[in-house]
Every structure is written in structure tokens, then in C-alpha cells.
Structure 1
């Protein structure tokens, strides 16, 4: 019987002519990881993670095949940003990441020139040619979202090139591929980060950043208004070109919700379910739901900028009737593919937009600009301490 565990909450040119479905991608404890004490003096070590099992590393990876942005953000957070050789939608992801990092002295990410590994189908030939030390992609994603690599090829890549490391279905707790159904586990954002820290042998940095995250969550929890005073909120990517709202829940499990779940607002779509990773609704349905606040997911990025979303809604005959539009409460959401540093900023940003009386007013900003310079007494975390951990170690 199928059993899925749910856990508690350098640069090398990538030789490719495209590696799937970039547009579709848009719309535990460490059981290994310490440097080994083998008799021959080898620096090899193992990391155990579902669904891959035990992965052996001869040394800390210097070249990494990276797909979704959370893994690039994790690498930067651990002081290994230079290992990143590829990135999902780099022209969108890179500037968005650096918009946050601009507020962390000495932290930046060199994304220009990176290939998008999901602009076409991943092939075995391309991965062998690129010869990366590690592949930050859930092998289940390849079987559920692509059709070019079979199980034997996936295993061969792991054995002859470099391990696969990832947990795509932890995003919203969707079903994994049948090949991994009996071994799959769902990880929170910080549990996933713990595994990536084991890969890079950066336990101290992980623990220091996790301590900061604990402080942010505690401050949020202590200052939330009573539930009856919290707004109803719809979280959706508003696609004005196709007259559609791609919806997400606020408070359910999965690291895609890591910047909204701690804020415990009332989910306008709580009583609606969808079979895939997200729902797809019309203007009329959104008007029927009519939330107090509409969080426009990806609104901080250049692909779906918040200003364009507001204008399109204001000019639409039905969209303009939404109370969130009338009351100027269409707000910018972050990227769902968020790593730990992105999550800290996105939590702060969302807290201010939902609860300005408790956490201070959100000053707003335009995609492509740096994250706003929040007054020191209104910040949810210490920028200097985060920068110190990243640049100097814990």
C-alpha cells in the first residue's frame, strides 16, 4: 500500500540547447551529512533524503545544476552561490533575488548568462555533457512533468554524473510519480533547506539562519490580530492577458505557502479545491468570492508586475467591481519558489501588507528595484546578522 510521510512543519557554462515547460512551471532531520571518517582519509560523506535515499558525495559540490529558485537562494544563503550553473527563468529570478540581497551587505548573485534548464525537455545527453556535481531537481518531477527521461536514465545520471536532490511535490503536497509513491516524504521549507545545507556541509549557517526564522515566526504569532479581525484574502496570479486567476491556498501545507501560512489570514478560497498545483478561475468567480485583499502572486517580479495588475483590474468591467480593487488592497505577492532568504523578506512584506497596524506600513516598490529600506524599528529581522551569516559563516 502506498505510504507518503508528511513531516512537521566555478561557474561552468551549461552546454544546452534547452533543457520543460517553463510556462507551466511559472503559472526532517539530516540523517547524513557529516564529513566521513573513512580509513583512507577520504572526505566523502552521505546525505539521506526522500525520495532519493542515501546519496554519496566525494566532496562539497562546486558545480550545481539548479532548477527552481529556492535552490539558488539556498546556495547563496549557505555561501555557495557561485556553484549555481543554471536557473529557472533567470531574467525574472535573478533580478528578483538581487532585489532582496541589495539589503544584505556583501551579498549578491551573479545570474547573467545562466541557462534556463526548464526551457525545454531535460535530456540525458545534456546532463552528461554539463557534468555537474549535483542536480537540484526532484527526480519525481521529471516523471510527472516531462516524458524524456525514464527511471533507468534518472538512476544512471545519479550514479555516473551527480546525485539528484529535490522535493518538488512538497510545494503543495501533490502526488509524486508512481515510482516514488512508497518512499516519498513532504518537507517544509526549512527542512528542505536543512538537507541542502547537508549537501554543502554548512550546518552552522543553516542553524544560525533557522534561529532567525524562528524569531520572525514568533514575532508574527505574538502580534497577529484576533482571527475575527483578519481580512479575507485571495492569493492568485492574475493573468490579464488570458482573463484568468491562477489561485493558491493561504494556509495549507507546502513550502509554496511559507510566506502566507504563518500570517493566518482567512483564505477566501478555503472551501474550494483543485486537482492540480493551482486552481483556474474567471473574473466572475473572483467577484463571487470578493476577498478583502487580493495577493497578486509574482507581483514583485518583472513578469507579472503589481502595477500592471492593478491597472488591468481597474480597467476591466468586472475586475473593477472587486472590493480589493475599490479599496486599493491589491497587493504584491512574492515568488512561490522561495528559499530561506527570500522567505524572510516575503514574510515581512506580506505581514505589512495584510496587517499594517501591527507590523508597519508597506512602502511599496516597483519590480526591478531594490527591496525597500524599511526603518530599523519596523523590520522583522536583522539584516546585518543575516548578511554576516552568509558572508562570514555563523
Structure 2
């Protein structure tokens, strides 16, 4: 590996300012954010709400020439061509490559077999679209040696998030950037949480679709982004124009647990792209404003909060038994008293680290789970793929989405 480390880089690109960012010397980024997201400089966050995002300029010449894409925390990153192999860690980035027709380019991700099975529960409803992430390198905590071996054209991952693992130094990140390919990703926008201190001044929070827009520029796939964003905008308009009055909306909580010995509760209104399928629905948090999302709870705590709706994260995975999940509540003397349980409103969900395609399905799914009178009933899900929804009750056009992904629209 030493010879390769010392050799000239095989790809031509402009250094993204990674070393400067890691040293905390870049001024805080500013810009517009959509979906009620937050722009942050250091540890002070200022909420903004806009209907459209402003994207920093991407310089691009004729095909084959280099082009620059800018996103925090990397800054300007120059590419000499559309990436053909893509390293990812988290599935929101992998899902973006997939949405742009580059799902097969992904060579790594966290828990690939798990997410391959979960994503395909939704992808099956897109005619002619396929996805296969099984058997990829599981990259939760990657090594330099493996990144050299993968030799990816882009590391679609947040360098600040990799630095937070503790096993990577700034020098390590720079080495991979210089000798293999650039980093390009944003992860701490998941919950608008603070990055490592050395990255704070370089960081900016984005909405899910804002990150997607910038990833689309990396792949020179702006037209696909615009087409999918139009579907997303129409879906959000359909939802917002049909929401019931605030006083008629239920309270809700998202839960995650493998065995119900330990239950994690998540705020459905939390800022960040993890709730990009929840916030547009205007649901009220069952735990109130002071609840720390991700806290552990028991049935007594849940009964005290008494949510009208419970969302079971990962409930649509093929290995999850939703019948058993519901039975854990109904068979418990405390759990059975929770309003969501008594009214049969424990619903399966997919994943919080969602890409744009999963976001479309989960917006539709959640709208039906919360407001069946407004958006059509959601079937009681026990197992299997995303239910077949009658065409006149679908909230977005599956065939149009499939054609965009496949490049046939």
C-alpha cells in the first residue's frame, strides 16, 4: 500500500479544503434550507423555512472536463467525470445514487444485507427497477486499507462523520482524498446535531432533498433530480392541502426495538432528514417539546405519554414480525392501555436514513396511516412488500418514478 500512497493520484480533482475544514479555519457556511431545516455555524442554530432551496453554483464545461460541486462540510470538490464506483456508509447517500440510476455503482454501505432486504420491500412496486446491495462491504467503520482496495471514484460519505468514529485522523481523511478520491456527503443533518468541534465552523445543515440536489450534480444528473423533485413537490402539496385542522391531528411516536427489553423512542417532529416523511404531516409529538429523541422508554412511560399512533421503525423488514410486535403491547397489562394499542394504530415503517425514493413511499404511507379519511386507508400490514395501493388512491405516480430512475422518462 505504501507505494500507492506515495504515487501520484490517478484522478484529477480540486482539493475540497478538507484540511482547512478539519482545522476549524473555514468561515461558517450560510444559505437557504428547505423543509424547515436549520443553518448552523458553530453550536448556534438558526431555523429557516423556505419553499425553495438555493444551490451554490456548479461550474461545468463540456463532457469530459472537470466540474465543481460545493457542499458543506467539504466546500468545493472538483470531479473529472461521473463516478462509476461509489463508496457509501449510510443509506441516505446510497439511496440518492440509486434514485439517479447509479444504484449498481455502490460498492459498500452499513449493514448491506439488512438494507438490501428492506429497500426491496419498496422497490418491488417500481416496474422495471431493480436493486441489489447484498454482499457489499459493510462500511460502518471502514479502514484505509479497504478504501484503497475498493478504489472508489467518490466517497459518498461525510468526512466529519467519519472523523467522529474516532479511528480516523484528519491526515487519514486527507490521504484518502488525495490518493483515492474525494469525500462528498452530509450526515449530521440527520438530526441537525453538532459535528466534531474541529468541523463546526465548516458545517451547514440541509434538508434531504437539498443533499440529493447536490449529489445529483456530482453525477451530472440534474434533470433526474428536477423530475423527482417535481413529484416530491406535488406530493407535499397534496398532503398540505388535505391535512385536517391541527386540533384533529393525532399524537405519535416512533419506536425502535429488537426485543422490547429496550425500547428507543424518537420524536416525529425532530428537525433533520430522519423525519422528512413525518414533519410534513403535521403530527403532534406524544412526548412534548422537552423530550430527548432517542431516549429509552418502557410501557409505563409510553402509557403516560399515551400516543394515538405508534410507528414501528424497521417494521417492514422481512425479518420483522409485526404480529408479534403488536402482541407485545396487547398482551401486556400496561401496554394494552395505550390509546394507539387499544385503537389498533401500531403501524410498520421503513427506515429513517431514507433516500429520496424511500421518502416518497414513506410520505404516502405515513399520510395514510395518520389520516385515512383524507388520504385513503392503509391496510393492516403484517408482512411482505409495500402493499399494492389502488391506482386512484396512490399519492404519486410509480411508473413516472420508475421511468426517471431508468432514464426512460
TM-score by length of 2: 0.85
Q: Distance in 2 between matches of 1:265 and 1:6?
A: 27
User: Matched residue of 1:317: which SS?
Assistant: coil
Query: Which residue of 2 is the match for residue 209 of structure 1?
Result: 228
Query: Which residue of 1 is the match for residue 79 of structure 2?
Result: 57
Matches within 5 A, 1:257-268: 257-268=275-286
Aligned length, in residue pairs: 366
1:161 to 180, 184, 192: 180
Query: Which residue of 2 is the match for residue 281 of structure 1?
Result: 297
Instruction: Tell me, yes or no, if the aligned pair for 2:322 and 2:381 is still in contact at 8 Å.
Output: no
Deviation at 1:153, TM superposition (A): 0.8
Query: Which residue of 2 is the match for residue 101 of structure 1?
Result: 123
Matches within 5 A, 1:373-384: 373-384=388-399
Change (3 A) 1:32 1:80: farther
Deviation at 1:30, TM superposition (A): 3.7
User: Matched residue of 1:336: which SS?
Assistant: coil
Instruction: Tell me, yes or no, if the aligned pair for 1:67 and 1:137 is still in contact at 8 Å.
Output: yes
Deviation at 1:7, TM superposition (A): 4.1
Change (3 A) 1:35 1:307: farther
Instruction: Tell me, yes or no, if the aligned pair for 1:103 and 1:383 is still in contact at 8 Å.
Output: yes
Deviating more after overlay: 70-79 vs 44-53: 70-79
1:332 to 345, 348, 352: 348
1:127 to 147, 157, 162: 147
1:195 to 209, 214, 230: 214
- 1:320-344 Cα shifts (integer Å, max 9, x gaps): 2212112111111220010111000
2:405 to 370, 390, 393: 390
User: Matched residue of 1:288: which SS?
Assistant: helix
Query: Which residue of 1 is the match for residue 5 of structure 2?
Result: none
1:349 to 365, 370, 381: 365
Q: Distance in 1 between matches of 2:223 and 2:389?
A: 28
Query: Which residue of 2 is the match for residue 177 of structure 1?
Result: 196
Q: Distance in 2 between matches of 1:184 and 1:278?
A: 23
2:246 to 227, 232, 240: 227
Instruction: Tell me, yes or no, if the aligned pair for 1:30 and 1:47 is still in contact at 8 Å.
Output: no
Instruction: Tell me, yes or no, if the aligned pair for 2:33 and 2:54 is still in contact at 8 Å.
Output: no
User: Matched residue of 2:87: which SS?
Assistant: strand
Q: Distance in 2 between matches of 1:287 and 1:47?
A: 48
Deviation at 1:291, TM superposition (A): 0.7
1:66 to 81, 88, 113: 88
Deviating more after overlay: 174-183 vs 85-94: 85-94
Q: Distance in 2 between matches of 1:304 and 1:135?
A: 31
- 1:210-244 Cα shifts (integer Å, max 9, x gaps): 000000000000101111111111122144342x3
- 1:271-297 Cα shifts (integer Å, max 9, x gaps): 2332xx622222221111011111112
Question: Which consecutive unaligned segments of at least 5 residues does structure 1 have?
Answer: 10-27
Q: Distance in 2 between matches of 1:391 and 1:33?
A: 24
Deviation at 1:365, TM superposition (A): 3.5
Question: Which consecutive unaligned segments of at least 5 residues does structure 2 have?
Answer: 1-23, 35-52
Instruction: Tell me, yes or no, if the aligned pair for 1:87 and 1:116 is still in contact at 8 Å.
Output: yes
Change (3 A) 1:271 1:31: closer
Q: Distance in 2 between matches of 1:153 and 1:96?
A: 33
Give the RMSD, CA atoms, in angstroms: 2.0
- 1:49-75 Cα shifts (integer Å, max 9, x gaps): 100111111111000112211222211
Change (3 A) 1:163 1:307: farther
TM-score by length of 1: 0.88
1:8 to 13, 33, 58: 33
Query: Which residue of 1 is the match for residue 43 of structure 2?
Result: none
Q: 2:50 aligned with 1:31, yes or no?
A: no
Deviation at 1:43, TM superposition (A): 2.0
Q: 2:379 aligned with 1:363, yes or no?
A: yes
Q: Distance in 2 between matches of 1:333 and 1:259?
A: 10
